[in-house]
Amino acid sequence: MEPAEFFTFLHTPHSHFLTPLTQGNIRVFCRVRPLLPSDHAENLEHHCISSIEESHSGRESKVQRVFPPCSSQEVVFEDISLIVQSALDGYNVSIFAYGQTGSGKTYTMEGPHPLQDDTMGIIPRAVHQMFNSVVELKDKGWKYTFTASFLEIYNETIRDLLVDKTVKKEHKIKRPTSNAVHVTNRKYLNVETVEEVLSLIKIAKQNRATACTRMNESSSRSHSVFQLKIEGLSKKGNITSTLTLIDLVGSERIDKSESRDRLKETKAINCSLSNLGGVFIALANKDTFVPYRNSKLTYLLQNCLGGNSKT
């Protein structure tokens, strides 16, 4: 199987997408990034597509939304804001950004540094939405607490992005119960303001594994997994959920990225993405067995992908 074959039809150098899995359906959002001076493609024009269809395993899935290069960060977030809001209703919510190296995944998920109101990505916008909604829900008798963590998976090894790189701790994924996934030695921080979360994003960005390739001078070499655990209390009952926002490592071909000196790393990247594709195929086909344990990423996120989750 080609790496992440399930998503091959959006596997182009200038696009990435988010895949909400709602009510058993796979929805694909495609964002086409603008051409950059480094692309050396002054005479190349974008041909935007209003809809894309792909048949896979006997099922047909449509691209629900295509964002052309002129689309702002705000417009992109508007289309997924209702899914984000579901986390306050008790659903485990996950959003992935997937695409080739240099396609703009990190820009979409986080935004450029320094962050500004108009360039903020999905993670800071989602956090803003969470805290704004909590203020409104407080009047209805709800009290919420938030706990944040930030991990990366690099070469099938888990690293804590909220801990200095020089600190060496082993992290293992454990399942004490069927409904819980625990990562040993993970750093959790209670957060009460948007500013606190933005500070964590800045720390994580500094600690994340990156490298220079032909396609991107600062290519992310790991899966970045931001998780916000949400606990709500009221007289009507309690809820516990997790909002997970994932900036996947960029898929790549060695002949294009010219990262031959990082061959082991590239193999781990493509294998991990292929395993993620296998999980989505199994979920789409409603298979009785879903191969979550084939990679650290899917093993970590298994409670956020299946069942009553929204991804």
Amino acid residing at 15: S
Is 106 annotated to bind ligand?
Answer: yes
Is 22 known as a binding-site position?
no
**pLDDT tens, the chain, 311 aa long:** 233 322 222 333 344 444 444 444 456 788 988 887 777 766 666 555 544 444 344 444 455 788 888 899 999 999 889 889 999 999 999 999 998 888 889 899 988 878 788 999 999 999 999 999 999 999 999 999 999 999 999 888 999 999 987 788 899 999 877 677 889 999 999 999 999 998 998 888 888 765 444 444 445 678 999 999 999 999 988 999 999 999 998 876 655 545 555 677 788 888 899 999 999 889 888 899 999 999 999 999 988 888 778 88
CATH code: domain 5-305 is 3.40.850.10
Q: Alpha helices of 211-257 — where are they, by DSSP H?
A: 254-257
Residue 103 in marked binding region: yes
Question: Does the annotation place 100 within a ligand binding site?
Answer: yes
Please indicate if the annotation marks 19 as binding a ligand. Answer: no
Give the amino acid at 33.
R
Say what the pLDDT of residue 255 is: 57
The per-residue pLDDT for 142 is 94
101 belongs to an annotated ligand binding site: yes
Task: Please check if 121 is assigned to a binding site.
Answer: no
Domain boundaries along the sequence of the chain = 5-305
Q: Flag whether the pTM goes above 0.85.
A: no
| Residues 6+ positions from 206 with CB-CB distance below 8 Å | none
149 is in an annotated binding site: no
What lies within 8 Å, CB to CB, of 260 at 6+ separation is: 254
Contacts of 234 (CB under 8 A, 6+ apart): 140, 141, 142, 143
